[in-house]
Amino acid sequence: MHGEFKVPGGKLVVVDLEVKEGKLAEFRLAGDFFLEPDSALEAINSAVNGLPADSDLDRITSAVKSALPEDALLLGFGPDSVAIAIRRALSKASSWTDYDWQLIHGTAYPPMLQMALDQVLAEEVGAGRRKPTLRIWEWDEPGVVIGSFQSVKNEVDLEIAEKYGMQVVRRISGGGAMFMEAGSVVTYSIYAPSELVQGMSFADSYAFLDEWVITALKGLGIDAFYQPLNDITSPKGKIGGAAQKRLGSGAVLHHVTMSYDMDGERMVEVLRIGREKLSDKGTKSAAKRVDPLRSQTGLSRAEVISAMEGTFRKLYGLTEGEITEAELQRAQELVESKFSTREWLYRVP
């Protein structure tokens, strides 16, 4: 069995192993990490051999940690990274380059249809009818997107939202509210088979699925990094946040919204929680704009997105795709039956 785990911001950890009589055997660790002293490598291999094949992440991590010499130096990885790679090997996890990734980018859809498309496209990937896909969202009308478990009245001032013509919608993933206006944010969704994140906890998978965009932002001169659980940030403030939903159909939906150039004053009028967490959004005054991507790159939104797409294509491959008529029709049906209903929007009043 073979497993790999690219540590977000770190190095590649590669493991090869067998399972004999319910125990790990013939284990070998490799990768482009740094490890001192040399004897620590064999110490790790010996510690893993003989562990029960059903050992969880904590047990494997503890075994590796206990086997390391006191003066061991691990750079670019850690005992937990080894454990994740092992669990990925045992669960036959896939890697990014195992897939023919498709790109969807172009059409702007109404907020409710955006929510429905996320569900439909993820379900299509899970069913094997669609290849794994990266979708870049476009917006031509304002909206507020709340998380699956958020309270409408606690998060949004509905009167102010109506004054600005902002439609309030609820997505299928958890997390916080997203303030969306045309040209103000960069949002993307990843629809992937669940095998891509096999052997990882939710926390590990967040950083894993967004490492490519951290690479893209660094390429644009932003000192970006991932802040657990789900924030993309920089020394100058928060850039964006991620949310995730794992579907029973065998797919994972992972999406991120990053601030390009938002109206901070309007945002805190509309979002109640924004009045308390304004600093988390990248500004200390409601009169300022929330513009980490614009101010830190000096690039247009289109140029930022082009750089992101180019990075994904270079790392994993990416070919042009489109939403099919059947997918769009199914999404429109879901708008009527689910996303536009009071039962869905006010499932948490």
User: Which pLDDT does position 349 carry in this prediction?
Assistant: 94
Residue 80 in 3-state DSSP?
A: helix
Q: Evaluate the CA torsion angle 309, 299, 9, 247 in order and state its sign.
A: negative
Q: Evaluate the CA torsion angle 151, 155, 156, 157 in order and state its sign.
A: positive
For range 147-168, the mean pLDDT: 97
User: Which pLDDT does position 166 carry in this prediction?
Assistant: 97
Name every residue whose Cβ is closer than 8 Å to that of residue 306 and which is 6 or more positions away in sequence: none
Residue 178 in 3-state DSSP?
A: strand
Paired strand residues for 180: 143
User: Which pLDDT does position 288 carry in this prediction?
Assistant: 60
Q: Are strands 178-180 and 143-146 parallel, antiparallel or unpaired?
A: antiparallel
Question: If you search the block for the tokens 């805190």, which residue do you land on?
Answer: 268
User: Which pLDDT does position 283 carry in this prediction?
Assistant: 43
Name every residue whose Cβ is closer than 8 Å to that of residue 42 and which is 6 or more positions away in sequence: none
Q: Kindly state which CATH superfamily the domain 2-90 is placed in.
A: CO dehydrogenase flavoprotein, C-terminal domain (3.30.390.50)
Helix axes 111-127, 325-334, angle to 10 degrees: 120
Indicate the average pLDDT of the chain: 94
User: Which pLDDT does position 290 carry in this prediction?
Assistant: 84
The pair of structure tokens assigned to 191 is: 């629809």
Please write the tens of the pLDDT for every residue from 260-311: 999 999 999 999 975 555 545 444 444 467 889 999 999 999 999 999 999 9
- pTM attached to this predicted model: 0.92
Question: If you search the block for the tokens 């906890």, which residue do you land on?
Answer: 201
CA-CA distance, 237 to 141, in Å (whole number)?
Answer: 26
CA-CA distance, 318 to 180, in Å (whole number)?
Answer: 26
The pair of structure tokens assigned to 317 is: 């491959």
Domain ranges of the chain: 2-90, 96-345
Please write the tens of the pLDDT for every residue from 199-258: 998 889 999 999 999 999 999 999 999 999 999 999 999 999 999 999 998 999 999 999
Q: Which CATH architecture has domain 96-345?
A: 2-Layer Sandwich (3.30)
CA proximity to 340, closest of 187, 104, 143? 143
Q: Is the Cβ–Cβ distance between 176 and 229 less than 8 Å?
A: no
Please write the tens of the pLDDT for every residue from 133-156: 999 999 999 999 999 999 999 999
Residue-wise DSSP of 186-230: EEEEEEEEGGGGTT--HHHHHHHHHHHHHHHHHHTT---EEETTT
The pair of structure tokens assigned to 27 is: 């284990």
